[in-house]
């Protein structure tokens, strides 16, 4: 029974993680337990084609990001939009609606690390 639950949870996690907008993809790098028993850390490379966007969404935990390549416009609810270039970092608090869009002429890549609640989707669409 426990294995079935874990298999279903992993399938749901993968489906949500990879349910993506056109022009935006995530490549899973690792999913590791952390010291807090109710959390895990997920690390991905997010890639945006020019004009591509992640779509408004939230996470059940924090997101730490580092722009590897390109130029992004980051919109975080309650804050003015920010333009981020390669080499810059950002932080998104748990549960806050946000979106990222490639506003450059070439591809954009972000190394994103999520420290999120176990058993919940890493990302959920927001309206």
Nearest Cα to 111, choosing from 87, 93, 95, 94?
87
**Residue-level pLDDT at 12:** 45
Q: What is the pTM of this model?
A: 0.82
Q: Are 63 and 51 in contact (CB under 8 A)?
A: no
How far, in Å, CA of 22 to CA of 24, rounded? Answer: 6
- The CATH code belonging to domain 2-125 is 2.60.120.10
**Residue-level pLDDT at 5:** 44
**Residue-level pLDDT at 127:** 79
DSSP letter at 53 equals: B
Residues of the chain with pLDDT under 70: 1-21
Q: Are 61 and 115 in contact (CB under 8 A)?
A: yes
Report residue 122 CA to chain centroid gap: 7
């Amino acid at each position: 029974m426990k294995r079935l639950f874990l298999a279903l949870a992993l399938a749901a996690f993968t489906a949500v993680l990879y349910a993506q907008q056109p022009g935006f993809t995530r490549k899973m790098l690792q999913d590791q337990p952390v010291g807090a028993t109710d959390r895990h850390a997920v690390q991905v490379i997010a890639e945006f084609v020019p004009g591509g966007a992640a779509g408004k969404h939230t996470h059940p935990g924090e997101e730490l990001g580092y722009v590897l390549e390109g130029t992004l416009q980051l919109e975080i609810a309650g804050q003015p939009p920010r333009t981020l270039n390669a080499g810059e970092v950002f932080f998104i608090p748990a549960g806050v609606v946000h979106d990222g869009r490639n506003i450059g002429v070439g591809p954009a890549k972000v190394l994103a690390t999520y420290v999120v609640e176990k058993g919940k989707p890493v990302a959920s669409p927001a309206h």
